[in-house]
Amino acid sequence: MQQNQYIQEIQAQSPHFVCKEVGADTLLVPLRDNVADFNQYLTLNELGSFIYRLVAAGNNFDQIHASLLETYDVSTDQAAQDLSFFIEQLHQYTVGHA
């Protein structure tokens, strides 16, 4: 599954990012020479933050999908589609800002 490859690549980049909670949102901020680059941050809502933390903790697609189903009122298919889309977007961001 391509999503697990994307997740592994995101996990490999996670040390180069810091999460900063701002109100209900979380900012995913790339680090440049160990300094946060607030000009290039990504804003994550509650769900995006939930998924990112699971990714950064080492979970794979199936584990994250199961956590979504346990935590949120969503169908199996919708959760899989939304998770796939989010992982693709997160992968583009993290690899692009690494």
Task: Give me the domains of the chain, ranges plus CATH numbers.
Answer: 2-96 (3.90.930)
Confidence band, pLDDT 50/70/90 cuts, at residue 98: low
For 14-47, letters b (16+ CB in 10 Å) and e give: beebeeeeeeeebbbbbeeeeeeeeeebbebeee
Residue 10 near residue 86, CB atoms below 8 Å: no
Q: The tokens of 59 are what?
A: 């979970």
**Distance of alpha carbon 1 from alpha carbon 84, whole angstroms:** 10
pTM (two decimals) = 0.88
- The predicted-structure confidence for 85-96, as pLDDT tens digits, reads as follows 999 999 999 988
